[in-house]
Structure 1
Amino acid sequence: MLTAARVARRSVVFLRRMTTSRVDLGHQQATVVILPSALANDFEAFCSRNPAALSLLYRSQPGETSCLPIASNVDTRSYISLYCVFENGRLQKTVPSLKGFGDDSRAGADTGVVRSEGPGACWPDMVFFYLGSSFGFEARLREAGVPDRNVEQGKNGMYKTAVPCVPVGVFDCPLVVTMRPVPADMVTTAAKITHLNPHAHGAPIHIGDPALLGIRDLSRPDYGDPVERHAGDVPVFWACGVTAVEAIRNSKPPLAFSHSPGSMFLTDIPDTPLPTSQLSPCCFLISQDPLLYSLASEGAVGKIRQLEKVIGEDPGNRGIKALFVQDELLRSCLALSHSTSVAITTGFPTHYMHSPPDETDGPPGALAMATMLIALGKQVTMVTDKRAVQLNQELLEEAVRTGVLKTTIPLVTFEDNGPDSALHFLCHEGDPTKPRFDHLVAIERSGRAADGNYYNMRGANIKHLVDPIDDLFVAAADLPGITTIGIGDGGNELGMGKVKEKVKALMPNGSLVACDVAADYAITAGVSNWGGYAVACALYLLYTCPTHQRYLCRGTEPATSPGLLDNLLTSLPSVDKEEAVLSSLVRLGVRSGGTGNLAMEVDALPFHPTHSDLVSRLVALTLDSGATGTP
């Protein structure tokens, strides 16, 4: 029995001349691809490997021109308003029907019907694929109050990206996306609603600057017409079934057909969303230049917020809670998950009367972050003072020997040799468009105060022991594509300039010692090392979050190597590893902050039980599968 929607579609002529994005019919819409049976298995596998763009609703048997499981009483060859005909991957024509294909008695110069050699010659060998369409979620967006700009304007633009699909056999092509402008304050709503309809491409695969997808000009779509943005709109991108057209073009089958982009197949499947779950996405702005949002599941977000609460404890009664900014851990780790190359710096020479003058807070947290970042495939570089090169080199070598690090890390220094020194350090040949690093992370790194000096918490000036690594953070603020993160526990650390007014008002000697150099994100912790441990744990949570991984991989199947999860597990902080790092520091003469003791303590707190218990709690929370929907 025909649904009312499909009866309307058959009987109203104008529907055959407009994109179905403009029609609210309450049922799933589908992309149709028709291929020779010899390619069918590979194409089905291609769909499976690229599920956001090519969500398979139904695959026919060879020669089956109907599709009873998803639509009754339909001959797909004549049901769609406009078809594309491809020969050897080239678009030959668009036609209003395929039903007469191969029937010479009906072929003619003015019929618009495709011809072939012999009556019905091709159909017994052709397989029909029906793929989910984003037009299936637009009614839900409107119900939630999200403006539907493409429907309002009667336009729908589709763009080829620089993102490669996961190839299978002859099928290898770039991902195609649609763009819908969404008001910034409704981006999370749009993501949550579309997530509930995975057969209609699900949640967005990118939110922000189109250049990050390789799209140069939104006013020039590869298919369709551009949709105009209103003031305050953010470009939001969904994977698109027109990816299948690109697959046809690149694979060059001798004969193939598809719907014409925008002219969809209407199914009998109700547009019914899935139930909500802990995998429902939350959306966060993580960069203004370039504009970039990221997604993570409610479950993962909840766990990371719990990690942030744990590291905010203050057993030393230093008043650090006064500097707390909600979700700095979450946002900084979301940003880091998108990174390629990260530079980490640490070193606070508070014990200026000793050699070495450094304290035990900072290096353990830096190594914990580095270990997880390397396991995630990121490039990591350590930046240190000239005076501390030998100390840090020995620490890194010992970390490799003891298994804390699986591989060594490049160790570099920075010197101020002129006004462009920071630019040349950060960017290849000093070219702002060619950054060496996309993230700078400072943990318990002495930061420059407003008067140009560097102070410990007692107000002693230690500038003579500190290289101007702050200049890198200052320069990065004006360089697109470089995100900065500062981790501190007192307010005089590099990056904590983001909360300097709180430091001046609320911390001891704050008006003198407050760091004046801000980072994009300032993570505060009871002990800075704890912030480093929490970053490593949060990165693990994001990597094992299906919602976040789907977003990182643009809706394609992630490329996972055997044993990767085990590698990530062993890259988490542990009591044994952190005890080994602290033992190395003590052996190298590095002392505890606060007391100056050459002992197994950090910031005057003993490793056992204070720090060891904290590490255990963070890891236990990270691996607790009962609370949130992440492994």
Structure 2
Amino acid sequence: MMPFTLHLRSCLPSARRCVILQKKLSSRNTSSTAGGLRPASVVVLPSSLAAAFERFCQANNGPLPLLGRSQPEKWLLPARGAAPDSRMGCPQFLKYEFGACTGSLASLEGHSEQLRDMVAFLLDCSFSLEGALEKVGLPRRDPAGHGHTGAYKTTVPCATHAGFCCPLVVTARPVPEVELGRLVRASCSLGGARGQPVHIGDPELLGIKELSRPDYGDAVVCQPGDVPVFWPSQLTSLEAVSSCKAPLAFASTPGSTVMTDLKDTKAPDSLLSPERTPEVHRISQDPLHYSVASASAVRKVRELEAMISLDPGNRGIGHLLCKDELLRASLSLSHARSVLITTGFPTHFNHEPPEETDGPPGAIALAAFLQALEKEVSMTVDQRAVNLHRKLVEDAVEQGVLKAEIPILTYQGGSVEAAQAFLCKDGNPKSPRFDHLVAIERAGRAADGGYYNARKVNIQHLVDPIDDLFLAAKKIPGISSTGVGDGGNELGMGKVKAAVKRHIRNGDVIACDVEADCAVVAGVSNWGGYALACALYVLNSCEVHGRYLRKAVGPSRAPGDQSWTRALPSVTKEEKMLRILVRHKVRSGVSGVVGMEVDGLPFHGTHAEMIQKLVDVTTLRG
């Protein structure tokens, strides 16, 4: 990095000996100030900590966008009695001693001797949300512009380096829900990646208890219809300075900046490409939570959804389709830390095992990709089918379909209390064990309490009440759910039960009554599992979504990470999985054949072709 002493100039010829000038800024947009000057905040540290702090900023470039640094013994302070430019306010710095803030200073002139062995860092402050607000026609909430926007410490840790270890600090703005998409696009257009928010929704998801009690600046007040939106703040630097416990350090006071002529090598484009254009989608109502992904990633996920909506069995599933269910489900799964998957539709009640070949392959394909994303994955199945699924998982690991074994759980409680105890640590609804539940071709409870196959045969004696977990999850904030089905009688399809009753054969009897938050409808349920895995690949290869997930702190993973590519479904892996099922005498759902088919459709020619199309769309760049 070039030292900024080679590039920083004063506004006035009479003050050119000054390396650092300070201007007290209002919160107006300052990205195009007179003379091309660029506002920045300052951190001054002992030279022994300079390399570590530079790497710390590089690892957390969202809140700490580093513009430049000085070199020791290169300080040029204003001469005593030099008249400052009338347009410039007095410099203001906070002084830190061993991590504690011990006061504020109008100038660093009194510390000239100590500064000889210290290094100054400049952090870019050129992006201002006010420009985006003006661009979309949203009024300021503080018309006078005298206040300093509220900033809050979060429980999100920055990536640590050497002695620098601190939480992310964010600024917050209330935004009318109907304007979220326009504002986020405008802020990214003006500020590039730095204009992208890191969280939209419930402040408690960031560990912020009350917006009325900011750690810096003025409180944020939300009005009815507003959603709080959070951006990374350079005030994170104050927490970093405190964390390193240097004998002496300085930093700009909140709201104060220096003016520099340093250029940003990553200036934003006024016209965003589809890969950088953000889209905002709500993924949870309780707690309120939105996610962000690029327009190109969203387009790909929608293409995957359209592909799996083919109806090879002519069941009429087109009437059940709801737009963007795959998108919402995959976005929610992308944010989850721990996922519980369930499958199992014992339609062949006169055979042992009674399971069918639709369901387990899709469930294991999804589990494989969740493992690649380093999420906790568990599976719950009927008690009578535990041994079968353990063997399926063991064989899947041995054949390379699954990276590692996943826990197989059972649930037979049958009460609200039992369901809550299963889902939550110590039964406490504030401590859920799982963030997301997924049912893939899982028998779903009908309105009369029965579980019906497509021919209206009640198979309740073979099914444990796993539906209760999905019902309980509806009342536990922080747990979302997805149901994948191809006929309307699967767990989670209660969300589209009205359409099932009208358009699906025997729908008035077989329709599942239990809803999931997202209902992914596919021509074959396995396809829904494959599509979820592919959608997660698309989202996690998206730079916009990845930055939002990691809150703009820590290193990003390269798009198309090889471990993710290997974890995707493939024709080879899914053929192996189906052969494992055949080895364990699991039958095709429609024909009852023990062979290489699912729902009466041959693997080669039908399922293999669908898998390849899904993967091709997923891995195609652009």
**Structure 1 length as normaliser, TM-score?**
0.88
**Deviations along 1:300-343, whole A, 9 cap, x unmatched?**
11111111111111222222121111111111111111111111
Cα distance in 1 between the residues matched to 2:280 and 2:564? 25
CA–CA distance in structure 2, aligned partners of residues 326 and 488 of structure 1: 15
Structure 2 counterpart of 1:369 = 366
Structure 1 residues 454-603: aligned runs within 5 Å: 454-558=451-555, 565-603=561-599
Shift of 1:42: 1.7
Distance 1:150 1:280, change over 3 A: farther
State the partner residue of 1:209.
202
Query: Which letter does structure 1 place at the counterpart of 2:615?
Result: V
Cα distance, 1:80 vs structure 2: 5.6
Letter matched to residue 492 of structure 1: N
User: Is the 1:281–1:547 contact (alpha carbons within 8 Å) kept by the matching residues of 2?
Assistant: yes
Give the match for residue 230 of structure 2.
Answer: 237
With over 3 angstroms needed to count, the CA separation of the structure-2 counterparts of 1:197 and 1:496, relative to structure 1, is: same
User: 1:313 aligned to 2:310?
Assistant: yes
Matches within 5 A, 1:114-193: 116=111, 120-133=112-125, 136-149=128-141, 154-193=147-186
| Distance in 2, Cα, partners of 1:31 & 1:553 | 24
Which aligned pairs between 1:183-332 and structure 2 lie closer than 5 A? 183-198=176-191, 201-267=194-260, 273-274=268-269, 275-277=271-273, 278-332=275-329
Once the two structures are superposed, residues 455-480 of structure 1 have per-residue CA deviations (whole angstroms, 9 ceiling, x without a partner) of 11121111111111101101110011
TM-score by length of 2: 0.89
Cα distance in structure 2, aligned partners of 1:31 and 1:259: 6
SS at match of 1:594: coil
* Distance 1:152-1:354 versus aligned 2 partners, 3 A rule: farther
- For 1:80 and 1:371, the matched residues in 2 are separated by 59
> What is the deviation of 1:361?
0.5
Amino acid at match of 2:359: G
1:43 alignment partner, SS class: helix
Contact persistence 2:94–2:103 (CA under 8 A): yes
Task: Determine if contact 1:175/1:239 at 8 Å carries over to the other structure.
Answer: yes
Q: Which moved more, 1:442-451 or 1:297-306?
A: 297-306
Deviations 1:556-581 (A, max 9, x none): 123769x9922211111011111111
- With over 3 angstroms needed to count, the CA separation of the structure-2 counterparts of 1:565 and 1:500, relative to structure 1, is same
CA contact (8 A) 2:436 2:481 kept: yes
Q: Match of 1:622?
A: 618
1:175-231: CA deviations, max 9, x gaps? 111111111122222222222355783301111111111111111111112021121
CA distance in 2 between partners of 1:186 and 1:269 (Å): 34
Is the 2:340–2:380 contact (alpha carbons within 8 Å) kept by the matching residues of 1? yes
Q: Give the deviation of 1:81 after TM superposition.
A: 4.8
2:95 maps to 85
* Cα deviation 1:335-379 (Å, max 9, x = unaligned): 111111111101111122222221111000000000011111111
Deviation at 1:74, TM superposition (A): 9.5
Residue identity matched to 1:144: V
Letter in 1 for 2:552: G
| More divergent stretch after superposition (156-165 vs 263-272) | 263-272
Q: CA deviation at 1:547?
A: 1.1
Distance 1:460 1:158, change over 3 A: same
1:54 is aligned to 64
8 Å Cα contact 1:26-1:270 kept in structure 2: no
Gap runs ≥5 in structure 2? 1-8, 16-21, 78-82
Distance 1:419 1:312, change over 3 A: closer
Which residue number corresponds to residue 43 of structure 2?
A: 33
Gaps of 5+ in 1: 8-14, 68-72, 103-115
2:398 pairs with 1:401: yes
Alignment of 1:384-463 (within 5 A): 384-416=381-413, 418-463=415-460
Inter-partner Cα distance in structure 2 for 1:357 and 1:554: 46
- The Cα of 1:539 is off from its aligned counterpart by 0.9
